[in-house]
Chains A and B, each alone.
Chain A
Amino acid sequence: MVKPKVAIHSITGCAGCQLEIYFVEDILLQILDKIDLVAAPMIKEQNYDGKVDICFIEGSVTYDENIEQIKKWRENADIIVALGACACDGGVQQQKHFMDKEVVEHYVYGEERKHLKAVPPTPISDHIEVDFYIKGCPADKEEFLWFLKQLLVGKTPKQYEKSICHECKLRENHCLLEQGRECYGPITYGHCSIMCPDFNHACTCCRGPMKDANFEEHIKLLVEKGYDEQQIRQRMQKYAGLRVEKLMNNDKNKS
């Protein structure tokens, strides 16, 4: 059997998702035996630039060259998988959409900012067609593996549709909302190994909102628990604000 050619590429981001997926140590060698990893600049010196079967992209689009780059990868790949919150939803940096651009850039780069060619950060799906999404900040290695295995047997993976809350309840955790914490588990996509609530950290919505997230009621719930509404809205913008906004507008149009 011909091994599928796989590329793992990165645009603007912290590279944490790549780092995470290379941590599947116990079976990494077995996986490398099943694929032909032709490009993975983080761990390989020689990287091939041509046609591949599967291309994972992490990071968000933050300047024009990124767009050219991902378009080329799209042309060269049968399947594009957005890897992690930045690629899927814009990630932490897309908060810039909800702030004053000048203020942000001045804060980070001072006077040097005049040389910047940055554009407001966007998910890769704003520019190219994306086949699959592995959400999260960082992407979860178990989910990556699950995805990869499905692709390798020739299946179209199904996007996971259940909430963090569903999985957290399965873990029999003491509900953080119940303890008065600011948790976004009920409206956030699960399949992340429930790392945060397992360690007593409330869910911060890093995997982005579920397609039918009931934002208004969740906000009400958190306000009742004493949290500030504006702060809640900002928190929901942290990783996937653009999508949150889009879904909220849909809700408004519906009602």
Chain B
Amino acid sequence: MRARLLSKHEFHRFLEKLKSQGTLVAPVKEDIVRFKEITDVSAITTEGHPLFPLKKYFSPQKRKIFTYENNNIEEVLPEKQYIMFGARLCDINALLRLDKLFLGDISDRYYQRARANNLIIGLHCEIPPNEMCFCESMGLSDSGYDLLFCDAGENFHIKVGSERGNALVQDLPESDFQPEPIKTEKKLHNTEIAAFFENDAWKKEVEKCLSCGACTTLCPTCLCFDVYDDPDVEMNKGARITEWDSCQYEDFTKVAGGHVFRQAREQRFRHRIFHKIQYYKDQFGEFMCTGCGRCIEGCPTKIDFVEILNGMKQ
């Protein structure tokens, strides 16, 4: 499908049109940039990178899988239909990575429904929005969006990724634009890390880890969860909940009887990195990490796993 051209003068009108078709979500600059539900389209920014990723719209932090009353179960599925504007390629790729886990042998129906419902309008990074970005090293694919906005001064060129996207822009003039691949200053040089599992650098570099879990909370591909029942005060009913969990806590691997399989801080940290760079790739042939840099940006002590890996020698 051909790309289209939108004059920036028409940008707000276009956003208004989106808003009329569902719940519009887009980056808003407040004290920091956040993805928010939009009431006023003039609040939307195309600068910067929301610190918190999009995953909450596909599998919320606390989510009812089903409610129960006595022995009757009712499955809970997403109600809202989101139209998301301003997702960067790292965020869009993060969803493609999560698809492999959540739409695998046994699909997660909530996630599946949200993926089918939600419309994704990307925003191409002419310049990486953050100095921690290193997506150039992570093999992002130019796909996964319904539309992709590319800033070209006076205009946006809009790449079309789906029929649903095309329907939104088919009235606009066509364009032949092809965006440049994203270049990032920061790069992950060592991407083959199997040999780095036993390496003194883990202990040394991870000494300043506070095990607070901020990295996993902010990661666009971290969706590990806990499952528990939340009884209603009336006791004969309640809900089974999934809640985001984090491998950075000791309890994550604790089994009945009390044994913890990843006790040391550096083991927990290393597991996160190995999952993102090695284990997932072993299974699916691509990195789980999409190079968004949030885990570094949001780390209280600014532990930089990219630099740690780059510093390791075979």
Contact = CB atoms under 8 A, between A and B. Distances in A.
A217 B249 contact: no
B217 A217 contact: no
A169 B34 CA distance: 12
A161 B210 contact: no
A170 interface: yes
Nearest to B263: A212
A163 B212 contact: yes
Given A169-B218, A172-B34, A217 B298 contact: no
Interface in B201-244: 207-214, 217-218, 230-231, 233-235, 244
Interface in A163-203: 163, 165-166, 169-170, 172, 174-175, 177, 185-187
Interface residues of A, number: 31
Given A161-B249, A214-B211, A27 B235 contact: no
Interface string B112-130: 0000000000000000000
A150 B31 CA distance: 38
Given A34-B235, A153-B235, A174-B32, A218 B251 contact: no
Most buried by A among B32, B214, B244, B298: B214
B214 A169 contact: yes
Nearest to A224: B301
B212 A161 contact: no
B235 A165 contact: no
Contact of A212 (B211, B214, B244): B211
A162 interface: yes
B218 A186 contact: no
Most buried by A among B31, B265, B298, B300: B300
A169 B52 contact: yes
Contact of B250 (A152, A177, A212, A217): A212
Contacts of B288: none
A162 B213 contact: yes
Contact of A218 (B51, B52, B210, B244): B210
B213 A166 contact: yes
Contacts of B210: 163, 165, 186-187, 213-214, 217-218, 221
B93 interface: no
B265 A212 contact: yes
A212 B61 CA distance: 24
B213 A163 contact: yes
Contacts of A220: 208
A231 interface: no
B234 to A, nearest CB: 7
A165 B32 contact: no
A223 interface: no
B166 interface: no
B246 A166 contact: yes
Contacts of A166: 212-214, 217, 246
A149 interface: yes
A245 to B, nearest CB: 19
A214 B209 contact: yes
B213 A34 contact: no
B300 A186 contact: yes
A172 B211 CA distance: 19
A162 B243 CA distance: 12
A174 B31 contact: yes
Given A162-B249, A172-B52, A177-B300, A185 B212 contact: yes
Contact of B207 (A149, A169, A211, A217): A217
A210 interface: yes
A31 interface: yes
**CB-based closest 5 A-B pairs:** A165-B212, A186-B212, A166-B213, A186-B210, A169-B217
Interface of B: 31-32, 34, 51-52, 61, 207-214, 217-218, 230-231, 233-235, 244, 246, 249-251, 265, 298, 300-301
Given A163-B212, A165-B214, 18 more contacts: A149-B230, A149-B233, A161-B249, A162-B249, A166-B214, A170-B244, A172-B34, A177-B300, A186-B212, A210-B211, A211-B250, A212-B265, A214-B209, A214-B265, A217-B207, A218-B210, A220-B208, A221-B210
